[in-house]
């Protein structure tokens, strides 16, 4: 196949109408992976044999059933790549760390099981910052992931491979995790749509923990519709993750919507190209008849500081199990970023500093959450940048951890408040690198965000794009 389909609808229509088979799809994707993976460093494990086996099953199902099969298998024939932090039964899972270089899990994550039952075809496990510690994709123990739009630039982190695999057209969909922008940043840097869901919307069972009170699991695709269809399958209680709630999802959207814009999201430090792009996006929503309302969120200036106190404290606790006895190899295999976060976390939890740092951070987190809730009493969504700059060059921030951490400055609020946020691509920089924005919403408002995103796509004539490699 020369032209691979770029959406779930296009893929399933082609399969049903016998324009191509699932085996032919897998052939094409694996060919692209074989051709470009060495340069981009996206896939850590390629599951070609398993993919062909599943593709043959898909073709067999399509041979004997009609289009109604999609009600039983809503993602039939959809290829997926998993961030290498999702456990996959019988398939190596490393979390991007040499500590787990040879780890073969005995079971799969809930999300993996659900996507497989829905008919997806796994192509493999993709690179990520080790333990999900990073904003650029440069912290993996197996080498940095490069941005397919320009391999001199970062792919974004920590779900770097999840995004790069899509923009390099090595898969149709992927999964990631978001503790502070780790699924939104890579999507933003690769011209993709991604969803950081409400905390408690999707089970994290079988996903290696980073910071348990902040971690979320989310889908990534090339359109809002693709992300929504993945979310439909991924969401909901599983009996393993006690934070997940079964709720009556409100899919009906109010006839009149309001989007808030906080001045705190457009202040100093924001790249002029990113700022201009946000204002262009606001004009599109205004054209759609959506009211834009100015709001104030004074506590958000503390969000990034609060996040890095709470996150490092939880990292130090979660990584304690990887001691070479219970799990993984020797602790000497930990990379520099993991060591840094363990030390910071141990410090803020230590006697004499717990009250001064961790406890205070938790109090400010509550203040931020309450402030966000108050804002969402006035508006249905907030628009904000995903990152303060367009994609930056590989190596540009590696020697300045503080500068790297500030990449997350616009992402932290949603994670601290537990609210959903969706990254949406829009335009390109003067260097022809992807730009975009995020829409935040109140807890469990994912379908309102999907509606807003689809309205935006329709109004702008959005078409999925992949990088020309």
pLDDT of residue 316: 96
Query: Which domain does 360 fall in, by range?
Result: 301-364
pLDDT of residue 325: 78
Q: Is residue 467 part of a domain?
A: no
For residues 305 and 244, give the distance between their C-alpha atoms in angstroms, rounded to a whole number: 27
∠ CA 179-33-84, nearest 5°, is 25
Closest CA to 77 of 16, 1, 31: 16
For residues 119 and 250, give the distance between their C-alpha atoms in angstroms, rounded to a whole number: 26
Q: How far is CA 317 from CA 3, 142, 348, in A?
A: 47, 24, 12
Residue 233, CB-side half-sphere exposure with 13 Å CA sphere: 26
pLDDT of residue 269: 82
Q: Are residues 309 and 296 in the same domain?
A: no
For residues 318 and 109, give the distance between their C-alpha atoms in angstroms, rounded to a whole number: 18
- Number of structural domains (the chain) is 2
What's the pTM? 0.97
Q: Are residues 138 and 205 in the same domain?
A: yes
Q: Are residues 60 and 163 in the same domain?
A: yes
Q: Is residue 1 part of a domain?
A: no
Q: Are residues 294 and 228 in the same domain?
A: yes
Q: Is residue 3 part of a domain?
A: no
Q: Does residue 94 contact residue 322 with C-beta atoms inside 8 Å?
A: no
Last residue of a domain, one of 318, 341, 364: 364
Q: Are residues 334 and 383 in the same domain?
A: no
- The active-site residue out of 140, 158, 162, 167 is 158
Last residue of a domain, one of 339, 364, 389: 364
Q: Is residue 384 part of a domain?
A: yes
For residues 199 and 228, give the distance between their C-alpha atoms in angstroms, rounded to a whole number: 17
Establish whether 339 is a catalytic residue: no
Q: What token pair was written down for 377?
A: 């009493």
Q: At 216, is the secondary structure helix, strand, or coil?
A: strand
Q: Are residues 180 and 326 in the same domain?
A: no
Q: Are residues 339 and 371 in the same domain?
A: no
For residues 394 and 397, give the distance between their C-alpha atoms in angstroms, rounded to a whole number: 8
- The active-site residue out of 182, 203, 316, 421 is 182
Q: Are residues 152 and 19 in the same domain?
A: yes
Q: Where are the alpha helices (DSSP H) in 124-271?
A: 160-167, 184-189, 224-234
Q: What is the DSSP letter of 264?
A: G
Q: Does residue 458 contact residue 258 with C-beta atoms inside 8 Å?
A: no
pLDDT of residue 338: 95
Q: In what helix (H) or strand (E) does residue 275 lie, and over which residues does it extend?
A: helix 272-287
Last residue of a domain, one of 322, 337, 364: 364
Q: What are phi and psi of 80, to 5 degrees?
A: -140, 145
Q: Does residue 142 contact residue 165 with C-beta atoms inside 8 Å?
A: no
Return the CATH number at 12: 3.90.1300.10
For residues 92 and 98, give the distance between their C-alpha atoms in angstroms, rounded to a whole number: 12
Establish whether 83 is a catalytic residue: yes
pLDDT of residue 120: 98
Q: Is residue 235 part of a domain?
A: yes
Q: Are residues 244 and 288 in the same domain?
A: yes
Q: Are residues 249 and 310 in the same domain?
A: no
Q: Is residue 2 part of a domain?
A: no
Q: Is residue 465 part of a domain?
A: no
Q: At 86, is the secondary structure helix, strand, or coil?
A: strand
Q: What is the DSSP letter of 407?
A: G
Q: Are residues 249 and 344 in the same domain?
A: no
∠ CA 67-203-248, nearest 5°, is 70
Q: In what helix (H) or strand (E) does residue 421 lie, and over which residues does it extend?
A: strand 421-428
pLDDT of residue 117: 98
Please give the chain's pLDDT, 469 residues, in tens.
778 999 999 999 999 999 999 999 999 999 999 999 999 999 999 999 999 999 999 999 999 877 788 999 999 999 999 999 999 999 999 999 999 999 999 999 999 999 999 999 999 999 999 999 999 999 999 999 999 999 999 999 999 999 999 999 999 999 999 999 999 999 999 999 999 999 999 999 999 999 999 999 999 999 999 999 999 999 999 999 999 988 888 787 888 999 999 999 998 789 999 999 999 999 999 999 999 999 999 999 999 999 999 999 999 999 998 988 777 888 889 999 999 999 999 999 998 899 999 999 999 999 999 999 999 999 999 999 999 999 999 999 999 999 999 999 999 999 999 999 999 999 999 999 999 999 999 999 999 999 999 999 999 999 999 999 8
Q: Is residue 468 part of a domain?
A: no
pLDDT of residue 245: 85
Q: What token pair was written down for 124?
A: 């493999």
Establish whether 158 is a catalytic residue: yes
> For the chain, first and last CA: distance in Å?
17
pLDDT of residue 194: 98
Q: At 94, is the secondary structure helix, strand, or coil?
A: coil
- The active-site residue out of 83, 98, 146, 196 is 83
Q: Are residues 170 and 235 in the same domain?
A: yes
The residues, ordered by sequence, that sit 6+ positions from 101 with a Cβ below 8 Å of its Cβ are 94, 141, 329, 333
**Strand order from edge to edge, sheet including 434-440:** 43-46, 121-126, 79-83, 173-178, 216-221, 193-196, 421-428, 434-440, 381-384, 258-262, 291-295
Place of tokens 């399509």: 62
């Amino acid at each position: 196949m020369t032209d691979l389909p770029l959406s779930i609808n296009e893929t399933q229509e082609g399969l049903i109408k016998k324009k191509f088979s699932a085996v032919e799809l897998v052939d094409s994707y694996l060919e692209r992976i074989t051709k470009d993976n060495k340069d981009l460093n996206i896939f850590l494990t390629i599951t070609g044999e398993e993919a062909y086996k599943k593709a043959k099953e898909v073709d067999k199902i399509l041979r004997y059933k009609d289009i109604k099969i999609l009600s039983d298998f809503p993602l039939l024939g959809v290829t997926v790549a998993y961030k290498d932090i999702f456990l996959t039964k019988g398939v190596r899972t490393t979390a991007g760390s040499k500590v787990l270089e040879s780890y073969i899990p005995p079971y799969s994550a809930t999300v993996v099981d659900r996507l497989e039952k829905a008919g997806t075809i796994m192509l493999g496990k993709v690179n990520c910052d080790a333990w999900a510690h990073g904003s650029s994709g440069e912290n993996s123990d197996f080498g940095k992931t490069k941005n397919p739009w320009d391999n001199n630039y970062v792919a974004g982190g920590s779900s770097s491979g999840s995004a790069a695999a899509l923009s390099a057209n090595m898969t149709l969909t992927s999964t990631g995790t978001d503790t502070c922008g780790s699924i939104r940043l890579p999507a933003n840097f690769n011209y993709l749509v991604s969803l950081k869901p409400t905390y408690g919307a999707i089970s994290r069972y079988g996903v290696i923990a980073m910071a348990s009170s902040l971690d979320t699991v989310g889908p990534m695709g090339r359109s809002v519709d693709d992300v929504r269809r993945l979310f439909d399958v991924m969401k909901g209680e599983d009996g393993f993750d006690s934070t997940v709630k079964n709720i009556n999802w409100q899919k009906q959207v109010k006839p009149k919507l309001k989007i808030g814009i906080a001045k705190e999201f457009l202040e100093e430090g924001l790249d002029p190209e990113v700022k201009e792009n946000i204002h262009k996006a606001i004009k599109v929503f205004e054209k759609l008849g959506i009211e834009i309302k100015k709001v104030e969120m004074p506590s958000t200036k503390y969000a990034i500081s609060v996040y890095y106190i709470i996150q490092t404290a939880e990292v130090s606790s979660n990584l304690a199990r990887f001691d070479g006895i219970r799990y993984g190899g020797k602790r000497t295999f930990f990379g520099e970023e993991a060591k840094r976060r363990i030390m910071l976390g141990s410090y803020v939890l230590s006697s004499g500093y717990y009250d001064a740092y961790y406890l205070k951070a938790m109090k400010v987190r509550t203040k931020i959450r309450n402030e966000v809730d108050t804002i969402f009493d006035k508006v249905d969504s907030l628009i904000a940048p995903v990152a303060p700059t367009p994609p930056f060059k590989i190596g540009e921030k590696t020697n300045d951890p503080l500068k790297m951490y500030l990449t997350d400055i616009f992402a932290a609020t949603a994670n601290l408040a537990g609210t959903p946020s969706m990254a949406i691509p829009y335009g390109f920089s003067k260097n022809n690198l992807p730009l975009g924005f995020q829409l935040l919403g109140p807890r469990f408002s994912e379908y309102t965000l999907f509606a807003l995103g689809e309205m935006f796509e329709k109004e702008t004539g959005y078409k999925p794009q992949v990088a020309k490699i």
